Structure 1
Amino acid sequence: MPTGDVLLAQAGATELYNPCSDSFLVTDTLPASAGAYRAQAHLLHNNKVIYIGGAISINNGSTDCYLYEAGTWTATGSLNTGRTSFSSTMLPTGEVVVCSGYNASHITNSEIYDPITETWTVSGTVTTPRTRMHSVLLPDGKVLMPGGNEFFNMFNSTEVFDPGMGYDTASVPVITSIAPSSIVISPSTVGYTALTITGTGFQDNNNRKGGEASNSGERNSASNYPIVQVSRIGGHRYDNDFTRYLPFDVDTGNYWDSTSTKVQFPHGIPNELPPGVYAVKVIANGIPSEPAYLNVEVACNVLADFETDTVCEGDSTSFTDLSTGTPTSCWLYDFNDGDSAFSLDPVHLYDSAGFYSVTLVAHSLMGCVDTITKTVVVNPLPTVDAGSDSSICEGDSITLNGSGADSYTWSNGVTDGVAFIPPVGTTTYTVMGTDTNGCANIDSVVVTVNALPNVTANASSQIICEGDSSQLTGFGAVSYTWDNGVTNGDYVLPLTTTTYTVTGTDANNCVNTDSVVVTVNALPNVTANASAQTICEGDSSQLTGFGAASYTWDNGVTDSDYVSPITTTVYTVTGTDANNCSNTDQVTITVNTLPTVDAGPDTTVCDGDTVTLTGSGATIYDWNNGVTDGVPFTPSLGTTTYSVTVVLGLCANSDSVEVTVNPLPTVDAGPDQTVCDGDTVILTGSGASTYTWDNGVTDGVSFTPPLGTMTFTVTGTDANNCVNTDSVIVTVNSIDDASFTYTSGTYCISAADPTPAVTGTPGGVFTASNAVVIDTADGTIDLDASGVGTYMVYYTTAGPCPDVDSVEVTVGQPPPALAISGPGQLCMGSSITLTVQGPGPYMWSTGDTLASITVSPAANTNYWVQ
């Protein structure tokens, strides 16, 4: 921008960047209808900015254009063809030409914008439409377009496009002198300085737009005047690339002809053409001259100055501007650490202590500059030492001393160099040391206060009985010392109650003590008692202890238990009193041997069998359940225990035997069966495990029984080897005879109805096919009612073992009448031919089957045919 600012614009947002203050200013928003991206913008000769086209969507270029001036956007003439990704070039006349681009397809035409009329005019056509290329204005007014692409086809070609301005390049303007060549102005001077430029070719023969009539951009009524362009190429401000088109106004004494022109050079606020070296060009017929140079100086009185505070390392340094003279518009601080600032009174943090040469460059609004360098001091922090970490025992005191500074302040209420008793645990104490520069630093020391060991004097038994020992062991420390000459871990046997004291030292060398009392109790007077000290083998005796509180017996006996020793046994009881002291006593139980008796082995029998029980080992036996030794009896079903008892002296003994009576199996031979002669039968028993049949029958195997009725018996044996039987009756009946005959196998339909003769079993039923009408009782065929054909007639008997027989019967129409022709007589030895008339087939009495036969009878003979 003419002010040196940078304009950043896009649809929906506009900002101005000031490089001197390094800041952004939000200004008027570019309308949302402008192309969102790939638009183009130019600073026009009238210092307005034109925003051209751009993409609304990927395939839709905008036709809208906008002008920016004095912080406001206004609409200007629209493109004839909306486009994006095009090239644009500012022509020397101040016009703008756009070439090619994209809007759903690649565009071949170009358009030229007139900033005076604010309209677009379609111009020439490019040879190769392309997008995303740059363009360069050539000295002859043509536009060079290198590269670009069409979709994904990248071009390496270039094209020179003639916007059709019709420039006369035969006459190039030449500047021979410029007066004055140098201008010196005061910072407070505001106005214009007239420049007279002399040369040749200043006449614009094409009547182009020329320069501006005033700052408003209105064209003067005169025509054919040239354009004067000034571009600053040097100076102290940061906007070195600075171009203006000087106003031309005949009403203020300006003039032009082909050899000279007079224009006004503005300076001072608010025109803001800063000091520096300017290249001055005359543009006629769209062709610029070689530049002449104008030096613009300002009599400056800016005096840069600043002050700062002295700080400690880690603190920020504040800078205060003390510059004097003409109003200062821009400040540049170089902090000499690679960082800088553009603000009036900056604040800066140095990474480390030291001496820094800081330079301030102060700029006035007219570009006057002054520089000053001062030394900024950042004092180092003192190296404070809080001392070494310490470890002490609970209750001990400690003194903390800081070093490396001049004064010290401790945390936690500690005073430097004064002893105190810290609490148990680990505490960090922080000291702040301050040096003579007022800079402070901190350090810390860790003080560990170890708690005294929690020493425990332990006795394995604090209450013991007379004669027992107790082990003394210290806990809670590392090493232990006992009184009474005891070593840690020793067993002691005090005669009376005694107090033992232990001193324990831990790993931190901290010490504590504890004591334990070992109490000695007297033993109880224990008695072992048995309810019977002499018993028979198998009898019991109750063992009971006396004289204590609780009792423990050997041999797994519990106090007051009944014991049944096999042999004479000594039992020992340990009695424990209320003090847990124990004593022992014994009792002997004498066991007398029992007489020997044996009831015999267990027995298993079947229901109904007898059993004889006989004891052994004695002479007299007493059985229960009414059994007499050696006498057979029939036990009842189930399992019964029989006991026998014998007596020897005062001791008796007994034995028992189990007799199991198993039930007989429930054998089933199966149901009675009736079959016909020749049929097979399978007999299968059930209810047992194995089966045996009489009459040679095998269980589950088929056989053919004889005619008549016969009983078969099966014997079944179960898993207990108990046996039972059952029987089944099998009846075998003879088979009926279904034999029958008709008098003939073939009948004419008109013949008498035939009735068959039954030669077998009578009382059966006759049946035939549906075409035959037959009497089912006697088999008579109704020939008239039956159909012609050959049929099977069946006879089925009605007995328990029925039979079926069949006879084939043919029912036919009466044969047609036949006639024999031929001579009725012949001579002996000769032959004649006989011919039958009528439908065949034929059967002659001679056995021939032809319609004509030749015969040679030796005597009178009758011949017939059917």
Structure 2
Amino acid sequence: AQSITLSGSPTGGTWQSSNPAVATVNTSGIVTALATGEAIISYTITQNDCTASASITVTIHPIPFVGNFNAPSTVCAGDSIQLSNATPNGVWNSSETSVATINSNGVVSGISAGETTISYTVTNSFGCSNTASKLVTVHALPVISISPADTVICPGGSPILSASGGELYEWSNGMNGGNIMVSPSETQNYTVTVTDSNGCMDTGATVVTINQDFGISINGSAGIEPNIACLNDTEYIVSFFINGGTPPYWIDETLLAGNYFESSIQNSPTFSFTVSDLTGCTFSATGNNAPCLMDCTVIAEFNTLNNLNCSTGFEVNVVSGPPQPPVYQFSLNNGPFQTYSQFTNLEPGTYAVAIQTGCGQQNLGVYVHDPLTVQVQVIPAGSVFYGNATISGGTSPYSILWSTGATGTSANLGALPGIATVVVTDGNGCVKLINLTQNGAVGIAQPPNDLTGSFTLFPNPAYGFFALAAAQPLPQPADLFLYAPIGQLIAQRRSRFEQPELFDTSLLPAGVYWLALYYNNQQQFFKVVVHGSR
């Protein structure tokens, strides 16, 4: 409530309001307005039993209405907030203009951290005024620290930029967080916006500069192309010239006299050398000994071995491959390795072939051995016996001739006991000759200790081939050696004589040859007269 002070003369009188609901007056003449309206304020004094009074009419005008503020009570230094009041035409004021200012439109601008009272005063046509106020707090901006500040890096470098002073960090490259790794390809400015717990934001910046003067290269190439001198498959020497950068140069922290480097003998499949210059920038020269490595690819073919047009096995012919260690070795079906590339006297079947080279063991593939095979079953029938031949492998069609003159897979072989022969020829001219002995007994008789009469060589003279047949298969293999007229060994093999052993003489010069047979600590020699093919 507003008040005015009245004075009366002479002093010592009494004051009185005609309308105390509108205005009151105290003994000192202070009139306090309570409500709009009029009140007569009188001053009465009595002296010498005489009373006198004076009065004045006081009019109480209404005070203007001032509403509450509709705005936040905090602002960041350097930012602004908008204040408003429902009562127009008022006057704004800040109690601490060093903390915050306010313009005529109610815009508060934060200056520095602290507090200020913002007031809004409205005065009506009667000169009556009313004021509303609000305490506004100004928060300081976050104090940002960035490290490193304006750094210089080497080409390909990836520095870590760190910022502090707030709670949230947003970088100009789109990354977030207090620590980020950057990999600029050229000089780059990085700014970070930091927000603290009060929501106040500020920005900081740093510059990452690329040391463009470094630019080290190897042998003048932007790539890594050193010279590699191969000493052998595993040892080599690396050398190169260093170009660019700021001399002098270091290799793995060893100072070079110039810009040429030659390594010691290297044994590792890969190499790595760190090149640095006077600026401290580094360059990695890395690579491998690929120029020295051998090509381990093996190209091989399987050639079928024939004896008298009959497949007896195969030979591995290596067309190309790595160096030999010192010679290639070969294996069948994971068996032991051998230096011979030929595999003969094989049973029909499938054989996995492997080779051992300077690069180690490799699989070459599979060879299918399907030779001409003849099996004859002798069946007694009263006083005679019959032969049934089962033929597989080789190349059809087959020609079958029995010693009785019969053809076909079955034949009457005559009376018991008896000896018969069957000759089977396939489409390639492969001949299989089988001697049959039937004495009516069950099982296979053991050969006699005396070899005489146990083996038959035919035809003799030989025109293109001859065969050695046993009266019956042997329990253990016998060793055969064929010698030329001058005593040179020209063929050898082992056999249990499950079928006659055929020898091809079509390429042998005419003359007298000797076939030696060794079995069970016994030996027998056969004289063979070889003529040219008919």
TM-score by length of 2: 0.32
Higher relative contact order (CA 8 A, sep 6+): 2
TM-score by length of 1: 0.20
